[in-house]
Homo-oligomer: A and B are copies of this chain.
Amino acid sequence: MHSPQQDRLDRLRQALRHRKIDALLVSQPDNRRYLSGYTAPDHGIQETAGFLLIPASGKPVLLTDSRFTLQAEAEAPLFEVVTYTRGLLKSLDKLCRKRDLKILAFESEYFLHASYLRLEKMAARLGLELRAESDLVERMRAVKDAHELELLRQSTALNEKVFQSVYQTIEPGMSEREIALALELTMREMGAEGPSFDTIVAFGTNAARPHAVPTDRILRAGDLVLIDMGLILDGYCSDMTRTFVVGKPDQTFIERHRAVRKAMLAGIQAIRAGVTGVEVDRAARQVLADAGYGEAFGHGLGHGVGVAVHEEPRLSPRGTKQLRAGMVVTVEPGLYLADWGGIRLENMILVTEEGAEVLNRDTTSLDL
């Protein structure tokens, strides 16, 4: 039986041949893991754990430095592992000559300008043609296969289990940091690789920042609590947001929470294969605008989730591409009012031919 990586490489090679590209240099770390199984993370684009060179035919190559050689060999059995000691380009130069490559594509959206200047010099020396590609692997990643869907379901289920386990303990006197820490600790205890992004826990007015960072602020009875959390399980991410009140919510909270919930449901109802991200975003945004919160919703409605917590497709005013069956996206409308606070609700959704399947089961405060 083929491994998922074998299938993905086959599909990519087909795309390369179709475009008459001799090889693709993969620099984007999520693409690297998706195609190879090699899990070493980058520490920012300036400290990469390696590159892939995927030729249209012939064995694919994983290039890395000596810190990662053993790990690469263990995790990426389909690849020839090349250890570079004097930077990527010296080894790449050799490989291009050895494999007689004439047209080399690179990932323009994840390749530094300075690196390009160096690559350009090498290409000129070798008579190699460079092609700036932008989303060859990202487009493959956007549509999930059965194996990936199962992992995304498991990641989502575990994320909810972690949320519930900590949610039960939340009470006045706890700090945002304390709750965020408990969530991240519980993720790991329950088997996750770690959070898929920095966990957001925000009380009251702090929730007016969509990307709030947990502080030492202490929870008081009646405060609203916004929790946006996700984890990585076997390489696949989850992402969920709930906003609730500890104690009895007042009418303002209930009215605003209902507006956001209604927007979320409108977004989900607009989803099916063939519609664009813009259309889904608009369906949810209209609900908030009608409720008088148009200005209070400043970000896009959602994003794809997979090996990266933010990936294709985008549900936003700029998401012009059509959704396809097998995509998994978040729907996460919110409203943010500096003097009051914020509410965001977020579920993960599988796009199907007929419509949408909500992967989340958690209903915390959704029945307000």
> Which of A91-99, A207-215, A218-226 is the interface stretch?
A207-215
Task: Return A195 CB to nearest CB of chain B, in Å.
Answer: 11
- Decide if the interface of chain A is mainly helix, strand, loop or mixed: loop
A134 within 8 A of B: yes
A1 within 8 A of B: no
Contact (Cβ within 8 A) A45 B43 = no
Complex copy number for this chain: 2
26 contacts between A and B (CB under 8 A): A43-B310, A44-B44, A45-B110, A46-B109, A46-B110, A47-B310, A65-B298, A66-B298, A67-B209, A67-B211, A67-B298, A68-B209, A71-B211, A85-B298, A86-B318, A108-B112, A108-B113, A109-B113, A109-B114, A110-B112, A112-B112, A113-B113, A114-B134, A116-B116, A177-B188, A181-B185
User: Could you tell me the distance between the alpha carbons of A270 and B26 in the complex, rounded to whole angstroms?
Assistant: 39
- Per the 8 Å Cβ criterion, residues 87-134 of A in contact with B are 106, 108-117, 132, 134
Task: Return A136 CB to nearest CB of chain B, in Å.
Answer: 13
Assuming A111-B113, A112-B111, A188-B181, is B67 touching A299 (CB within 8 A)? Answer: yes
Task: Return A237 CB to nearest CB of chain B, in Å.
Answer: 12
Q: What residues make up the interface of A, taking CB atoms closer than 8 Å to B? A: 39-41, 43-47, 49, 65-68, 70-71, 85-86, 106, 108-117, 132, 134, 177, 181, 185, 188, 197-198, 208-211, 213, 298-299, 309-310, 318, 338
Beyond A43-B197, A49-B211, A116-B116: 11 further Cβ-contacts under 8 Å? A43-B310, A65-B299, A66-B299, A67-B211, A67-B298, A71-B211, A86-B318, A109-B113, A114-B134, A117-B132, A185-B185
Contacts of A109 in B (CB 8 A): 46, 112-114
User: Could you tell me the distance between the alpha carbons of A85 and B317 in the complex, rounded to whole angstroms?
Assistant: 10
Task: Return A42 CB to nearest CB of chain B, in Å.
Answer: 8
Task: Return A209 CB to nearest CB of chain B, in Å.
Answer: 5
User: Could you tell me the distance between the alpha carbons of A345 and B275 in the complex, rounded to whole angstroms?
Assistant: 56
Which listed residue, B71, B117, B197, B210, touches A67 by the CB 8 Å rule? B210
Which listed residue, B45, B49, B114, touches A132 by the CB 8 Å rule? B114
Beta-carbon nearest neighbor of A303 in chain B: B47
Contacts of A318 in B (CB 8 A): 86
User: Could you tell me the distance between the alpha carbons of A298 and B188 in the complex, rounded to whole angstroms?
Assistant: 32
Task: Return A252 CB to nearest CB of chain B, in Å.
Answer: 20
Beta-carbon nearest neighbor of A132 in chain B: B113
Contacts of A86 in B (CB 8 A): 318
Task: Return A329 CB to nearest CB of chain B, in Å.
Answer: 16
